Amino acid sequence: MARQFFVGGNFKMNGTKDSVTKIIDNLNSAELPTSVEVVIAPPAPYLALAVAENKQPTIAVSSQNVFDKASGAYTGEISPAQVLDLGAKWTLTGHSERRTIIKESDEFIADKTKFALESGLSVILCIGETLEERKAGITLDVCARQLDAVSKIVSDWSNIVVAYEPVWAIGTGLAATPQDAQDTHKGIRDHLVKTIGAEQAAAVRILYGGSVNGKNAPEFKDKADVDGFLVGGASLKPEFVDIIKSRL
């Protein structure tokens, strides 16, 4: 099955009105391939700015986080309805920094994913193992556990993109080899076959998210189960355009 190449840019807690505008201006001025779906996730205060400044038809805007309630006394949280009201179409859930720093559980992430989907957002669902878990040889067990929390309560995965992020590779400059990524992605897809069915598993795009940059992105080109990237720091730089074009 041909899956559309997908590149996400997670700005994390970086940026100002000026810098976010410059990043988007650079994307607007680039000749981006129409065959690549691109989603950028600026910090929440700049969601409306990003939507307003974006002129590329192949780029959509995403929240970095979302809550599992529509409204209420939840100080500091952002609801799917608010994300949609600003013109964004996507949200991240389960990013490793939410799991490890904020201590979000698999179940809470699954609840947020389900509610976001029901509210009309598409979701980039992040999964991945720590260095200790990788050394213990339980990478796929960890990924399966994180995926299963979602598949237990979400049956339709047509609006979910899975991002595999080896936690040990985020922000460290380390990266799995393209073959490492392919092997893990294949294991993830094989597990999804058992939980959400072969047809849906074949259609789900699985992104690699471990220190991808303009230099190493083309090395993943021929990997059958690497359907794109979730980019961190490099999404703040001009090389983000090179990553978007890396499959050409």
Task: Calculate the alpha carbon distances from 161 to 39, 75, 243 in Å.
Answer: 11, 28, 18
Per-chain mean pLDDT for the chain: 96
Q: Is the pLDDT of residue 5 over 90?
A: yes
Given this model, what pLDDT does residue 1 score? Answer: 60
Which positions are annotated as active-site residues?
95, 165
pLDDT band at 175 (very low <50, low <70, confident <90, very high): low
Q: What is the mean pLDDT of residues 148-157?
A: 98
pLDDT in tens, 13-29: 999 999 999 999 999 99
Q: Is the pLDDT of residue 192 over 70?
A: yes
Q: Is the pLDDT of residue 42 over 70?
A: yes
* 3-state DSSP of the chain: CCCCCEEEEECCCCCCHHHHHHHHHHHHHCCCCCCCEEEEECCHHHHHHHHHHCCCCCEEEEECCCCCCCCCCCCCCCCHHHHHHCCCCEEEECCHHHHHCCCCCHHHHHHHHHHHHHHCCEEEEEECCCHHHHHCCCHHHHHHHHHHHHHCCCCCCCCEEEEECCHHHCCCCCCCCHHHHHHHHHHHHHHHHHHHCHHHHHHCCEEECCCCCCCCHHHHCCCCCCCEEEECHHHHCCCHHHHHCCCC
The pTM (predicted TM-score) of the whole model is 0.97
User: In the structure encoding, which two tokens stand for residue 225, read together?
Assistant: 């189960």
The CATH code for residues 6-244 is 3.20.20.70
Q: What are the boundaries of each domain within the chain? A: 6-244
User: In the structure encoding, which two tokens stand for residue 231, read together?
Assistant: 């980019």
Q: What is the mean pLDDT of residues 167-190?
A: 86
Q: Is the pLDDT of residue 94 over 70?
A: yes
